[in-house]
Amino acid sequence: MQVTYRDKVWTFDETLTVSQLLRRIKVLPESVLVIRNGTLVTEDQQLSSGDEIRIVAVISGG
């Protein structure tokens, strides 16, 4: 699966849950939303090798 977050891109071959993915890239689930193939998903969702994952940061400045 290909994962994009801010200006970074990762590729993972194994199956992971959203929680496992976020731990792997050291991102707190409270600071992001995860979109799999265009759909918002929760932390328990299983991600597959062909998935396109976009992680959206939600903590803004100001």
Partner 1 sequence: MRCRICGAPAVINMRQHKLSLCAEHYPPWLIRQTARAIHKYRMFTAEERVLVAVSGGKDSLTLWDVLLKLGYQVDGMYIDLGIDGGFGYSAQSKAKASAFEAAHPGTRLLVVDIVATYGESVLDVAARVQKELRPCAICGLIKRHEMNRMALEGGYSVLATGHNLDDEAASLFGNVLHWQVGYLRRQGPVLPADAEGFARKVKPFCRLYERETAAYALLEGIDYIYEECPFATGATSIQHKETLTQMEHKTPGTKMHFYVNFLRAREEGLLSNVEDDPPALRSCERCGQPTTSERLCRFCRLWARA
The site for partner 1 (CB under 8 A) is made up of: 28-33, 35, 39-44, 56-62
Q: How far is the CB of 23 from partner 1 (least distance, A)?
A: 11
Closest to 42 measured CA to CA, from 52, 32, 51, 50 = 32
Q: How far is the CB of 33 from partner 1 (least distance, A)?
A: 6
Structure tokens at 11: 């590729």
Largest CA distance in the chain: 38
Q: Which is nearer to partner 1, 13 or 62 (CB)?
A: 62
Q: How far is the CB of 45 from partner 1 (least distance, A)?
A: 8
Q: Which is nearer to partner 1, 2 or 31 (CB)?
A: 31
Is there a contact between 53 and 34 (Cβ–Cβ < 8 Å)? yes
